[in-house]
Chains A and B, each alone.
Chain A
Amino acid sequence: MSLSSAASLAQSGLNTVTAEISVLSRNISGASDTSIYSEKTANVITGPGGASQVASITRATNQAVFQNLLGATSANATQSALLSGINTLNETIGNLSSSSSSSTTSSASSPSALLSNFTDALQSYEASPSDSTLAGAAVAAAVTLAQGLNSATATVNQVREQADSGIATSVQTINSLLTQFQTANAQIVNGTATGADVTNAQNTRDNILTQLAQQIGITTTTGANGNMSIYTDSGVTLFQGGAARNVTFSPTNSYTAATTGNAVYVDGVAVTGASASMPITSGTIAGLANLRDNVTVTYQAQLDGMAGALINTFAESDQTGSGPNLPGLFTTPGATSLPTSTTGLAGQISVNASVDPSQGGNALLLRDGGISGNSNYTYNTSGNTSYTTRLTQLLGNLSATQTFSAASGITTSASLSSYASASVGWLEGQYSNVSSQSTTQSTLLNTATTALSNATGVNLDNEMSKMLDLENSYSATAKLIQTIDTMFGTLITNLENLPA
């Protein structure tokens, strides 16, 4: 062992400390990264001859906690996509409170409240059938009810359109993320093979994965050289063998009650919709697809059921012969017979112009019948001004039990008003349920994020104390070099002083 080899060891020591400081400063700058930043460690080994060197840089990982985070991210995204849609649907209900006396007339906008207002107006009119003001009020309440159903349908369609365009955006994001992923993955595979520092690429890849999990539920597997494969939570390949698969979706711009949205395809396999063979269960896309294809469709079926029941309840029968029943107070534009299917009725229902004073009609036809314009359908043939038989019949029909389509997901046999209340109950039930799910998922996501951060994140104090160590180590090495220098000096001076 010579002084010069000692000097060269000290030299390698300085290099190592500098390299470690560089890693440390990367950690400090990453401490407050909002995306995932894993603490990096410089692995120092003592080489042949005792020289220390940084053999590799690795980062803290915890695969289990990270997978947990991906799952929590997807589940949270599902619920928040659903919740924001249901919040919009909630607009169709307005304020539920009954506390202020004016609430029933001003803020309550649910079909149920409007139906209740209309029934009350009809009841008042039945008590004074000769009063054309009350007839007008009843018809006005009917118009408000029809418009309420129209605007509720518009809201439902709007939610479906937004969900559809949300899916389109999500699909674009996924494709772009997969391209980025391909680059990062290639860097890691090459870097790992050549032993380069791939920690930055690994961080990038993890961040892409969390963004991807936001859009669609995923699972991952890692092969040789850190080559990663991604599958949807239903098992369809998104990325494998270094190549991204195509995610496709063709958006539908405008929705009506009868529209069915297109499915999202991953690698040619349908993952959403009724025909999906491998349906995904989480991520924004799953939430939006559920909203677009189930929740809104069911709610629309309920609204359509109410509209259909209204049209049928107020239908007029032939008083002289055996003609078919015709639409009365409630109808759809241009209808000449009763509707055969309820699909989309809530969007079309309107009050017959012949009975609507604001459209030049006669509100008293509500009492007399013949709204359809055919005199055979007139009930009050004697022209008595206090004829109540028809009004009483209508009120009876309104409170009678009717049959509703099973597609609406609520009771199939109920009075119209119970059905309307049940619809409010259904929507609020969904709201309350999704809202609490969303809170739970968001809490789980926070926990998972904290767990990952604690498992792989940076603690500044820890880095600071490491820095003190490194500083000391650097000072000691520098001191060593200085000492060796002094020893060399001494040696050379002594050599000069030797007798020749």
Chain B
Amino acid sequence: MTSFISTQSITTSMRQSILQMQSDLAANETEVSTGNYADIGLSLGATSGEDVSLQAQTSMLQTLTNTNQTVATRLSATQTTLSGLQTSAQKLLNSLLEGDGSNSNASTIQASGQNDLQGLISSLNSSLNGDYTFAGTNTGTQPITDYYATGAANKTAVDNAYLTAFGMSQTSSGVSTISGANMQSFLDTQFASLFQGTNWSTNWSSASSQTLTNQISESQTASTSVSANNPAFQQLAQAYTMVADLGTQNLNSSAYQAVSSTAQSLLTSAISNLTDLQANVGMVQTDVTNANNQMSVQSNILSTQIGNLESVNTYEVSTRITDLQTQIEDSYALTSQLAQLSLVKFL
């Protein structure tokens, strides 16, 4: 059987294969220059959904890692403040213990009590990026009323309670007549109640007891701030105010003894509470670090997966390009030779 081929199909087939090879070459060149498939959607097809979802997950991890920096900064500031407060509380406690109930250095003690109270207030009112660190969720408002500001509600409340209990102000010289028992009773009841419940939230603190919560990884949520309403701060405020503003330097020995011992027990309890707080904050810090490390590992795995989906083997593609170039050159040579092959040329 004689095979028959039409002139048109000879030329058409050559033309089409050259076109095909040229478009392949263009696609392969894109792949070599980007390292990815020329048309990812075309190559991956329905798997593109997975690719997109991996990308979304990666960017979520990146976001969480970024927000964790804010969280870590706040936690570290909180930790520093807590440790500062603990040191000063310990110092005052030591001074009180050294004095051993004697009112000989009462004025020194009172002065350091004032310092410590001011330090406590300024620490609790510290802010970070315009947010008050110890304000709970109410970060827009300064949490602790400044005891030494004019007309401060907390100072007024203490003054009034003192006046009601003893019939005189703390600065009066008559304070030396207050008996130890009366002072103890005042400290345990009227005075103590000023630092608790509604009295605390009305006169001392505008902080919210609700602490900040943050998502620190895809699955973990952590409490990432400490509220000024924490008992540790209430006890500190109570102890410092007691030492600083009950006319300590003029008290008689037994009343001073009452103040000193109550302050000591409050400070001891406050220091222990502070330690607990520090431990809690430390644990959250560790959690954040661990979450960051874990997310970084996860991110690497995801990147690898995305790479596996999107990337081409550039070596393989380069080889393909070389092949294509050779093939295209061959096609050109063939086309020109075939054009010569016509009976017309020999007639």
Chain A residue at minimum C-beta to C-beta distance from B341: A461
| Binding-face segment, A14-22, A115-123, A213-221, A293-301 | A115-123
If the complex has contacts A123-B64, A126-B214, A126-B215, are A386 and B131 also in contact, measured as CB distance less than 8 A?
Answer: yes
CB distance A104 to B59 under 8 Å?
A: yes
> B337 in the interface, Cβ–Cβ < 8 Å?
no
CB distance A450 to B49 under 8 Å?
A: no
Query: Within 8 Å CB of B212, what residues of A?
Result: 386, 388
Chain B residue at minimum C-beta to C-beta distance from A435: B42
Which has the most chain A C-beta neighbours within 10 Å: B5, B36, B55, B60? B55
CB distance A432 to B45 under 8 Å?
A: yes
> A402 in the interface, Cβ–Cβ < 8 Å?
no
CB distance A422 to B43 under 8 Å?
A: no
- Name A461-500 residues within 8 Å CB distance of B: 461-462, 464-465, 468
Which has the most chain B C-beta neighbours within 10 Å: A90, A96, A453? A96
CB distance B4 to A425 under 8 Å?
A: no
> A431 in the interface, Cβ–Cβ < 8 Å?
yes
If the complex has contacts A99-B36, A130-B139, A453-B8, are A422 and B344 also in contact, measured as CB distance less than 8 A?
Answer: no
Q: Which of B8, B55, B70, B342 contacts A116 (CB 8 A)?
A: B55
> A25 in the interface, Cβ–Cβ < 8 Å?
no
Query: Within 8 Å CB of A228, what residues of B?
Result: none
Query: Within 8 Å CB of A454, what residues of B?
Result: 4-6, 9
- Name B206-237 residues within 8 Å CB distance of A: 208, 210, 212-215, 221
CB distance B49 to A422 under 8 Å?
A: yes
- Name B23-60 residues within 8 Å CB distance of A: 34-36, 40-53, 55-56, 58-60
If the complex has contacts A99-B36, A99-B310, A426-B49, are A113 and B55 also in contact, measured as CB distance less than 8 A?
Answer: yes
> B129 in the interface, Cβ–Cβ < 8 Å?
yes
Query: Within 8 Å CB of B35, what residues of A?
Result: 99
CB distance A128 to B129 under 8 Å?
A: yes
User: In whole angstroms, what is the CA distance A385 to B210 when docked?
Assistant: 12
> B12 in the interface, Cβ–Cβ < 8 Å?
yes
Q: Which of B40, B62, B210 contacts A96 (CB 8 A)?
A: B40
> A428 in the interface, Cβ–Cβ < 8 Å?
yes
Chain A residue at minimum C-beta to C-beta distance from B347: A464
- Name A421-443 residues within 8 Å CB distance of B: 421-429, 431-433, 435
Q: Which of B52, B56, B63 contacts A124 (CB 8 A)?
A: B63
> A459 in the interface, Cβ–Cβ < 8 Å?
yes
> B165 in the interface, Cβ–Cβ < 8 Å?
no
Q: Contact string, B123-140, partner A, CB cutoff 8 A, digits 1/0?
A: 000000111000111111
Chain A residue at minimum C-beta to C-beta distance from B306: A98
CB distance A388 to B60 under 8 Å?
A: no
Which has the most chain A C-beta neighbours within 10 Å: B5, B40, B59, B141? B59
CB distance A450 to B41 under 8 Å?
A: no
If the complex has contacts A130-B130, A428-B48, are A123 and B63 also in contact, measured as CB distance less than 8 A?
Answer: yes
CB distance B59 to A432 under 8 Å?
A: no
> A110 in the interface, Cβ–Cβ < 8 Å?
yes
Query: Within 8 Å CB of B66, what residues of A?
Result: 124
Q: Which of B13, B56, B131 contacts A385 (CB 8 A)?
A: B131
Query: Within 8 Å CB of A33, what residues of B?
Result: 8
User: In whole angstroms, what is the CA distance A461 to B58 when docked?
Assistant: 65
A406 smallest CB distance to B (angstroms)? 18
Interface size, B (range): 35 or more
Q: Which of B9, B58, B59 contacts A457 (CB 8 A)?
A: B9
CB distance A453 to B214 under 8 Å?
A: no
Query: Within 8 Å CB of B50, what residues of A?
Result: 421, 425
Q: Contact string, B178-216, partner A, CB cutoff 8 A, digits 1/0?
A: 000000000000000000000000000000101011110
Q: Contact string, B231-268, partner A, CB cutoff 8 A, digits 1/0?
A: 00000000000000000000000000000000000000
CB distance B48 to A123 under 8 Å?
A: no
> B343 in the interface, Cβ–Cβ < 8 Å?
yes
Chain A residue at minimum C-beta to C-beta distance from B54: A98
CB distance A123 to B215 under 8 Å?
A: yes
> B7 in the interface, Cβ–Cβ < 8 Å?
yes
> A265 in the interface, Cβ–Cβ < 8 Å?
no
User: In whole angstroms, what is the CA distance A392 to B56 when docked?
Assistant: 19
User: In whole angstroms, what is the CA distance A90 to B62 when docked?
Assistant: 27
A96 smallest CB distance to B (angstroms)? 4
A55 smallest CB distance to B (angstroms)? 24
B76 smallest CB distance to A (angstroms)? 15
> A384 in the interface, Cβ–Cβ < 8 Å?
yes
> B340 in the interface, Cβ–Cβ < 8 Å?
no
> B290 in the interface, Cβ–Cβ < 8 Å?
no
> B336 in the interface, Cβ–Cβ < 8 Å?
no
> A102 in the interface, Cβ–Cβ < 8 Å?
no
CB distance A425 to B47 under 8 Å?
A: yes
Q: Contact string, A96-138, partner B, CB cutoff 8 A, digits 1/0?
A: 1111000010001010110111011001101110110000000
A353 smallest CB distance to B (angstroms)? 25
Query: Within 8 Å CB of A457, what residues of B?
Result: 6-9
CB distance A113 to B342 under 8 Å?
A: no
Which has the most chain A C-beta neighbours within 10 Å: B6, B34, B56, B221? B6
A341 smallest CB distance to B (angstroms)? 26
If the complex has contacts A120-B60, A385-B140, A454-B9, are A392 and B215 also in contact, measured as CB distance less than 8 A?
Answer: yes
Query: Within 8 Å CB of A382, what residues of B?
Result: 137-138, 208
B121 smallest CB distance to A (angstroms)? 21
Chain A residue at minimum C-beta to C-beta distance from B3: A454
CB distance B59 to A116 under 8 Å?
A: yes
Which has the most chain A C-beta neighbours within 10 Å: B48, B50, B71, B141? B48
> B16 in the interface, Cβ–Cβ < 8 Å?
yes
Query: Within 8 Å CB of B63, what residues of A?
Result: 120, 123-124
B139 smallest CB distance to A (angstroms)? 4
> B304 in the interface, Cβ–Cβ < 8 Å?
no
Chain B residue at minimum C-beta to C-beta distance from A30: B8
> B67 in the interface, Cβ–Cβ < 8 Å?
yes
Query: Within 8 Å CB of B5, what residues of A?
Result: 454, 459
CB distance B9 to A453 under 8 Å?
A: yes
- Name B326-347 residues within 8 Å CB distance of A: 342-344, 347
Query: Within 8 Å CB of B12, what residues of A?
Result: 449-450, 453
Chain A residue at minimum C-beta to C-beta distance from B213: A388
> A282 in the interface, Cβ–Cβ < 8 Å?
no
> A387 in the interface, Cβ–Cβ < 8 Å?
yes
B302 smallest CB distance to A (angstroms)? 10
User: In whole angstroms, what is the CA distance A39 to B4 when docked?
Assistant: 12
22 A-B pairs within 8 Å (CB atoms) are namely: A31-B6, A32-B7, A96-B41, A98-B58, A99-B310, A108-B55, A382-B137, A384-B138, A385-B131, A385-B138, A385-B140, A386-B138, A392-B213, A392-B221, A428-B44, A429-B45, A429-B48, A431-B45, A432-B41, A454-B4, A462-B4, A468-B347
Contacts A96-B310, A468-B347 supplied; 11 other A-B pairs, CB < 8 Å: A31-B6, A96-B48, A97-B310, A98-B51, A126-B67, A382-B137, A385-B137, A425-B50, A426-B49, A461-B343, A464-B343
10 residue pairs, one from A and one from B, having the closest CB atoms = A425-B49, A457-B6, A432-B45, A429-B46, A385-B140, A127-B67, A428-B48, A116-B56, A421-B53, A428-B41
Q: Which residues of B contact A (CB under 8 A)?
A: 4-9, 12-13, 16, 34-36, 40-53, 55-56, 58-60, 62-64, 66-67, 70-71, 129-131, 135-141, 208, 210, 212-215, 221, 306, 310, 342-344, 347
